[in-house]
Amino acid sequence: MTIAKKDLYGTWMLRSWMATAQEHEQFQAFWSGVHGQLIYTIDGQMSVILIHPGWESTGIAPEQGFREGVIVYGGLYTVVPDFIEHHIQHTNIRSWIGQTLKRQASLQDGALILTTPVTQDTQGKSAIHRLTWVRPDSNC
């Protein structure tokens, strides 16, 4: 099913963040306990916040590469067949400003699944990330 902008409108809560090494096919839990919110507006704006549980209790994240425990960004978004593009205008990750983050997108049983292309972490390891988002009132 192709995603339309109207399918995205509103608030989504993070249900899971999974990752797999580029050469593997099995996704595994990534940074257990991370939670967040994703919002898409009718006028084409989006924002996301991801919070590592360690940041809430200590102010720092124990895992390296999580950008000090919080990832926040926002800007415009566009929907193209099977993909959502986040055009970053505001973020706590300086290198992302002005960038477009392209996510493969699908809707499955009321959940929004966003999958990254291959990315590299701060240690040069390649991975693919899959984030599953559900509506706040969803039992998914």
Written as one string, the DSSP assignment of 56-97 is: HHHSS-SSTTSSTTEEEEEEEEEEETTEEEEEEEEES-GGGT
Report whether pLDDT(25) > 80.
no
4 three-class SS: coil
Q: Token pair for residue 5?
A: 């902008």
Rounded to the nearest integer, the mean pLDDT of the chain is 84
Segment among 54-58, 60-64, 90-94, 108-112 with least mean pLDDT: 60-64
pLDDT at 123: 64
Asked if residues 138 and 22 have their Cβ atoms less than 8 Å apart, the reply is: no
65-77 pLDDT, tens digit each: 455 678 899 999 9
Higher pLDDT, 11 or 93: 11
Integer Cα distance of 83 and 33 in angstroms: 26
User: What sign has the CA pseudo-torsion 127, 94, 57, 36?
Assistant: negative
User: Average pLDDT, stretch 106-113?
Assistant: 95
Higher pLDDT, 17 or 59: 17
Report whether pLDDT(62) > 60.
no
pLDDT bracket for residue 113 (50, 70, 90): very high
Q: Token pair for residue 128?
A: 């693919």
Segment among 51-60, 61-70, 79-88, 119-128 with least mean pLDDT: 61-70
